[in-house]
Amino acid sequence: MPGIPQVTQGGPKTFVPADNAFVRGGRLVEATAGGRIQEAGAASVRVLGVALTDAIAPEDVNTTTTTDATGRPVTPLLSLPTSVAVAYGGTEVPVTYAADALFGQKLIAAANGTVTPGVVAGQVVGVCTEPLGVTVATNPVGLMRTV
């Protein structure tokens, strides 16, 4: 092969949420059918990275015009984005933890796109880089370096 194009280097890369999927920034996302994403489930082996913003599927955008109390039309002007940048490949980002974690501890996917300590082969998604570790009862958001 004479040469190949470089597609991305270290992210982020943009994806579209699956139909009826709400993606929150700071949550792990996983691949779904049709090349779309959703928040990762517990023990997911299809984690792509961490969503950098909130987003909804294009099909879920509310474009319905309603009327106010006086009968005047009201059209929604603002909506969540329908695509989201996903960080991966050694990027350090704040994420939501489902359980306490120590500085340097390996992390796997927990429910609803959160992370929890674990070392299951093929499931490690990052390393806790919060200098004092994360205590969920105090603050469930802390730094993680993606793998």
Which pTM was predicted?
Answer: 0.87
Q: Which long-range contacts (CB under 8 A, 24 or more apart) does 67-70 make?
A: none
State residue 8's pLDDT score: 67
Single-letter amino acid code for the residue at 103? F
The domains found in the chain, sorted by start residue, are: 13-64+74-146 (2.40.300.10)
pLDDT digits (tens, 9 = 90+) for 21-70: 999 999 999 999 999 999 999 999 999 999 999 999 999 988 777 888 89
